[in-house]
Amino acid sequence: MPLHPSSGDGGFSVIDPHAVDPAYGTWADIDRLAAQHAWMADAVVNHLSASSDWFCRFLAGEAPYDGYFATLDPGTDTSAVVRPRTSPLRHSFTRRDGSSIDVWTTFSADQVDLDYHSPEALLAMTEASLDLVGHGAAALRLDAIAFAWKDAATTSMSLPQTHALVRFWRACLEQVAPGLLLITETNVAHP
């Protein structure tokens, strides 16, 4: 399970990917654990909580957060998109200026999907993953990775761009933690 503060979904609605939920201790506690045991971190890379600071700043239109989350124009045909849940694929949110924006929500209204078309979003999640490795994670489980690249005209599942993301993270992480296990996880599609 993710060790970060969360607003729900069993910890998978991560509020801050750079923090440890106080219920689990502190980074110092994680460091002590890593000194005695190999541990695997759950890196939630597809989405963040709608309560996260990153998403609040996105809604405020602050750079670089204004490009961090995947949006959908109203009326976009998403019938080809494979779904792991039965909740709507998009939810409407109100921006600071009062306008509304539809955001891609693969799992729930509280889990807003990141947009890896944005180099800044990619860098931010890479840094969050490096935090986990820097605190001794011997393995990273990339939660819901198959859904990380969004393209409404496709299934948006395990696209070539998603595989490129995994290769990119593997190359980055290998530089700081040779031998790190990178484990990809995907929920099966809802029938």
Residues recognised as catalytic: 143
Residue carrying the six token digits 């299934």: 155
How many angstroms separate the CA atoms of 104 and 130, rounded?
26
Which residues face 181 on adjacent strands?
Answer: 139
Is residue 67 left, alpha or beta, with left meaning phi > 0 and alpha meaning psi from -120 to 50? alpha
Dihedral sign of CA atoms 144, 145, 148, 151 in order? negative
Round to the nearest angstrom and report the end-to-end CA distance of the chain.
25
| Residue 103 · residue 52 · CB < 8 Å | no
> What letter would DSSP give residue 114?
B
